[in-house]
């Protein structure tokens, strides 16, 4: 009786083994069968587009596509060219760290007062142009874009009628006047100028796909590069002698770039879109300058500084688009707020601060990092697919 009880557990093992071996035999037989020939259904691009129950690149119904596949969401035209062009008008404010003129100490009032003499910035126009093409492989696309923004800005501070001392860190030989500049002895306006020339090229490869009924994503990877030409200058007349300086930084950068954009269709052809990108670039800076601060001219010999520069970009906006002429071309118009940051660009200020303005003229032990450049403002873009 004990032997029977102990052997009962062997029965289910035997049954499972039989099922396993039987199923394995038939599974192998199925794999060895010749595959059935399936007649390939070849459609022309226009015919295939007409058979779809939705307009590719716009909001869809829940059952239009299989939910397990990130179906392409690019603009799909009945065209052999399958390319697109973009043009943007930008209206950006250029903001740099560490470009204020100085600080004024009003020492004739009680309590004493201090006024930061800030560099005023304004919005300036620029443009972007781009071109792209859709690839035959898995609905990927290539896109390249050029950005141009050139600007010159001035700030004037009038010391007339004011009593106090003006201090600035911009004068490299400022240790010759460690106690600042008496406002009553400044015989002109204090003027600062900034010349900013910015040119940028971006290249990306991307794929647009659906992630919901009204939401599409477009991740991309590529590369980018830019050129900065920046000149900062400060001048005024003190005790009937001109005091002036100008420092220039010529910088270029190149490296990888990646990001993602998204579209949310909230009403027919209208959509909200977002865009974000990040880059880590190798950058070279060439700094030089000249001036006349004490009656004798001087020059800053050209120096080079290599760094890694991080760049962040962000855009949020509203767009409308539509297919035309039986899906043979497409037009899209958008308006957006855009912001960009470029790290470690202001080597003009860093160079000027390398000689402290204390009475000993020693090298400062509290040097700051080079300031960053910020661009932000309005972007209006038109896109034409053909």
One-character DSSP codes across 74-93 = S---S-SS-EEEEEEEEEEE
Question: Tokens 């035309």 correspond to what residue?
Answer: 324
Q: What integer is the mean pLDDT of 207-223?
A: 94
Does this model's pTM top 0.85?
Answer: no
Burial of 47 (0-12, 13-18, 19+ CB in 10 A): exposed
Q: 21 burial class (0-12, 13-18, 19+ CB within 10 angstroms)?
A: exposed
Averaged pLDDT for residues 66-92: 88
Q: On the CB side of 226, how many CA atoms lie within 13 Å of its CA?
A: 28
Helix (H, G, I), strand (E, B) or coil at 48: helix
Domains and CATH numbers, the chain: 64-385 (2.40.128)
Q: Give 39-52 pLDDT, tens digit per residue.
A: 444 445 565 555 67
pLDDT digits (tens, 9 = 90+) for 225-281: 999 999 999 999 998 889 999 999 999 999 999 999 999 999 989 999 999 999 999
Whether the per-residue pLDDT at 32 is higher than 50: the answer is no
What is the pLDDT confidence band of residue 108, given thresholds at 50, 70 and 90?
Answer: confident
Q: What percent of the chain has pLDDT over 70?
A: 80
Give residue 21's pLDDT.
45
Condensed to tens digits (0 to 9), the pLDDT of residues 304-326 reads 999 999 999 999 999 999 999 98
């Amino acid at each position: 009786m004990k032997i029977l009880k102990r052997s009962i557990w062997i029965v289910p093992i035997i049954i499972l083994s039989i099922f396993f071996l039987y199923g394995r035999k038939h599974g192998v037989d199925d794999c060895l069968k010749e595959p059935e020939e399936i007649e390939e259904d070849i459609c022309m691009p226009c015919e295939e587009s007409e058979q779809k129950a939705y307009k590719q690149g716009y909001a869809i119904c829940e059952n239009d596509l299989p939910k397990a596949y990130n179906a392409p969401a690019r603009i799909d035209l009945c065209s052999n060219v399958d390319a697109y062009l973009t043009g943007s008008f930008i209206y950006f404010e250029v903001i740099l760290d560490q470009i204020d003129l100085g600080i004024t100490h009003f020492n004739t009032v009680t309590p004493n007062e201090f006024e930061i003499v800030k560099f005023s910035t304004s919005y300036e126009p620029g443009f972007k142009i781009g071109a792209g093409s859709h690839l035959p492989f898995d609905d990927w696309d290539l896109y390249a874009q050029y950005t141009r923004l050139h600007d010159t800005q001035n700030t004037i501070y009038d010391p007339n009628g004011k009593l106090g001392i003006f201090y600035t860190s911009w004068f490299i030989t400022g240790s010759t006047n460690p106690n600042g500049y008496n406002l009553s002895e400044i015989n002109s306006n204090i003027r600062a100028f900034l010349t900013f020339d910015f040119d940028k090229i971006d290249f990306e490869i991307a794929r647009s796909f659906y992630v919901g009924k009204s939401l599409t994503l477009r991740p991309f990877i590529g590369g980018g590069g830019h050129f900065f030409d920046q000149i900062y200058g400060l001048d005024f007349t003190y005790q009937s002698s001109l005091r002036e300086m100008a420092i220039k930084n010529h910088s270029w950068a190149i490296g990888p770039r990646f990001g993602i954009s998204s579209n949310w269709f909230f009403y027919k052809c209208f959509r909200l879109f977002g865009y974000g990108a990040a880059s880590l670039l190798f950058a070279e800076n060439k700094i030089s300058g000249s001036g006349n601060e004490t009656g004798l001219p001087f020059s800053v010999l050209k120096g080079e500084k290599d760094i890694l520069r991080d760049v962040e970009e962000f855009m949020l906006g509203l767009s409308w688009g539509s297919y035309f002429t039986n899906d043979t071309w497409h037009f899209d118009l958008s308006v957006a707020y855009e912001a960009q940051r470029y790290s470690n660009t202001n080597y003009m200020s860093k160079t000027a601060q390398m000689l402290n303005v204390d009475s000993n003229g020693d090298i400062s032990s509290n040097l700051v990092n080079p300031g960053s450049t910020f661009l932000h403002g309005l972007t209006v873009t038109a896109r034409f697919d053909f």
